[in-house]
Amino acid sequence: MSLESRVLTGYIPKHIAIIMDGNGRWAKKRNLPRTFGHKKGSENLKNITSVCNEIGIKALSVYAFSTENWKRPKEEIDYLMDLPSEFEETFKGKFKEEDIRVIFSGRRDRFPVKVQELINRVEEKTKDRQGLILNICFDYGSYTEILEGVKAISESYKKGEIKLEDINEDLMNSHLYTKELPKLDLLIRTSGEERISNFLLWQLAYSELFFAKKHWPAFNRKELFKALDNFQKRNRRFGGLKGDKK
What's the pLDDT tens digit per position in 24-68? 899 999 999 988 888 899 899 999 999 999 999 999 999 988 888
Per the residue annotation, which of 21, 23, 135, 185 is the catalytic one? Answer: 21
Of the residues 47, 69, 173, 198, only one is catalytic, namely: 69
Average pLDDT of the residues in 108-126: 90
Strands (E), the chain: 15-19, 59-66, 101-105, 133-140, 186-189, 208-211
pLDDT tens-place string over residues 179-233: 999 999 999 999 999 999 999 999 999 999 999 999 999 999 999 999 999 999 9
pLDDT at 52: 98
Under a CB-based contact definition with an 8 Å cutoff, are residues 55 and 98 in contact? no
> Is 21 noted as a catalytic residue in this protein?
yes
SS3 at position 42: helix
Residue 82: pLDDT over 80: no
pTM (two decimals): 0.91
Does the pLDDT value for residue 245 go beyond 50? Answer: no
67 CB neighbour count, 10 Å cutoff: 18
> Over pLDDT 90: what percentage of the chain?
73
pLDDT band at 141 (very low <50, low <70, confident <90, very high): very high
Of 12-26, 58-72, 103-117, the range with the highest mean pLDDT is 12-26
Mind spelling out the 3-state secondary structure of 73-117?
CHHHHHHHHHHHHHHHHHHHCHHHHCCCEEEEECCCCCCCHHHHH
